[in-house]
Structure 1
Amino acid sequence: MFLSTSFALFFLGSLVNAQSSDNAIGIAAIEAHFTGAGLVPSLLTSFDPTALMTVTFSGVGAISPGQNLTKDQAAPTPEITIVPANSTVSLQGNYTLLMADADVVGTDESVGQTRHWLVNGVTLTGTNSSLNVSTANGVAVTDYAGPAPPEGSGPHRYVILLLPQPSTFSPPANLTQPNVGVSVFHLTDYISTSHLGAPVAGMYFDVEQGTATATLSPTSPVISSTLKPASSGTSTSSGSSPSGSSSSSNAAIAIRGGHSVFAVPAAVCVLFASYMCL
């Protein structure tokens, strides 16, 4: 009996460590993707997420970073879930959820971004293994509006971010009430002036209509062997392709692994542990 119980606990402990490691790989991968796609430091000075974001479109499923989608595929409002990087990350309170068009790689982001989605007062429901981003009780300043990049302008990068709202949160007067249409704003200025915290999670995808009529800036591919643990201790590696092309399956698996790859085995192992303790 003692040996069976000890083995079961050891097995579950190993599983938890493996899942934590997988989440760390996902954090490293998404950080590298944001840098490789030119979103850091062009759009965001830095990006140090403490959670993994999964964006799921109806008919498409969960996307990987930089995945190419058609205008129609990205038209419905996506479902957003996040998984904390590790057990020390506490995600509570209200958040702001937004999506902005960062245009093509090499764009001068100082001119602003087109706001496609902005909801304040977003809450997280569920357990730490998978938290649903709920907009039900939030203020939908700008309802989700699918991508519509100009024909021939190249692959536009659509960035989705989740940012914490502290007690000092105070958005500009023109972005406090619902039903504000899609328009240009300065994402970093909005974050700063509203006193939002740094993004806790993010994802991006590409949408292109027609063939680009101009030469676009190159991107940096995410290569597994070049990734190192982040300073927060929540990273190692996973590789995939640059922005403008679909990411590799390895990166997609790493980023969604916390609740896609390991969720079923965890449930099975709990049953196994119960059996071993009988």
Structure 2
Amino acid sequence: MTLEFVRDFKSHKIVPDVIPVPPSALLHISYPDEQKVNLGNILMPKQVKDIPEVQWTVEPNTYYTLCMTDPDAPSRNAPKFREWHHWLVGNIPGTDLERGDVLSEYIGAAPPKKTGLHRYVFLVYQQSGKLNFSEPRLSNRSSQGRGKFSIQKFSEKYQLGVPVAGNFFQAQFDEYVPKLYRQLGQFQNGF
């Protein structure tokens, strides 16, 4: 892990807002149209509306948990819904997301109007084996059950330890966000 990598997680306050220590490796995330996540770069919601390709270094015969979370809901200045998780998949064999247990279906970035930049944090945890998750399965057609999440508490509950890989981008409101709110059954400006 480079010092720059650690510095970026700390300078953007992901440490301590989301996790107590930075992950040990960089998570590689690519959206369609070659949009890549790169330690706090700015991407627009319309660029991250589809499920990305996610890659990390794996150990053989090992399961992983992947999370995408927004600690800035509804804004960085007033994060009363911290964290609002956008994606949660457990029991991923290696990096084969399609074979993992989807606990929360993917929802792209959806920062409300006039709330500035939100941080969208991706973290991968190595599991000690296959787990039985007790969380309800959440659809990408509703926002219910996504707010006031804590990946740190989730990690502690399932004894996942510290993340083995991570990355993040920032986004602010664009014209795609109202479409996503309609998909989620949200008619207000935000969650």
Judge same fold: TM > 0.5, yes or no: yes
Q: Which residue of 2 aligns with 1:67?
A: 41
- Deviation digits for residues 169-219 of structure 1, max 9, x if unmatched? 454x234x4648541112211111122121000000001117xxxxxxxxx
The structure in which a higher percent of residues are helix is 1
Give the TM-score of the pair, scaled to structure 1. Answer: 0.55
CA contact (8 A) 2:17 2:71 kept: no
Q: Within the alignment, does 1:79 sit opposite 2:53 as a pair?
A: yes
Q: Which residue of 2 aligns with 1:163?
A: 125
Q: Within the alignment, does 1:97 sit opposite 2:66 as a pair?
A: yes
Q: Within the alignment, does 1:118 sit opposite 2:77 as a pair?
A: no
- Deviation digits for residues 135-165 of structure 1, max 9, x if unmatched? 1111111111101111001100000000011
Gaps of 5+ in 1: 1-23, 85-89, 125-132, 211-278
Which of 31, 37, 56 is matched with 2:30 structurally?
56
CA contact (8 A) 2:35 2:47 kept: no
Letter aligned with residue 76 of structure 1: D
Q: Distance in 2 between matches of 1:30 and 1:91?
A: 25
CA contact (8 A) 1:169 1:195 kept: no
Q: Within the alignment, does 1:197 sit opposite 2:172 as a pair?
A: no
Greater Cα radius of gyration, structure 1 or 2: 1
Q: Which residue of 2 aligns with 1:152?
A: 114
Change beyond 3 A, Cα 1:32–1:107:
farther
CA contact (8 A) 1:161 1:203 kept: yes
Q: Distance in 2 between matches of 1:46 and 1:54?
A: 19
Letter aligned with residue 35 of structure 2: G
Q: Distance in 1 between matches of 2:70 and 2:43?
A: 14
Letter aligned with residue 55 of structure 2: T
**Percent of paired sites with the same residue:** 24
Q: CA RMSD in A?
A: 2.4
- Deviation digits for residues 91-142 of structure 1, max 9, x if unmatched? 6510001100111556658x53111000111122xxxxxxxx2211111111
CA contact (8 A) 1:60 1:73 kept: no
SS in 2 for 1:118: strand
Matched length? 168
The equivalences for 1:1-278 within 5 A come to 24=1, 27-49=2-24, 51-83=25-57, 90=59, 92-103=61-72, 105=76, 112-124=82-94, 133-167=95-129, 169=131, 171=133, 173-175=134-136, 177=137, 179=139, 181-182=142-143, 183-184=146-147, 185-209=149-173
Give the TM-score of the pair, scaled to structure 2. Answer: 0.77
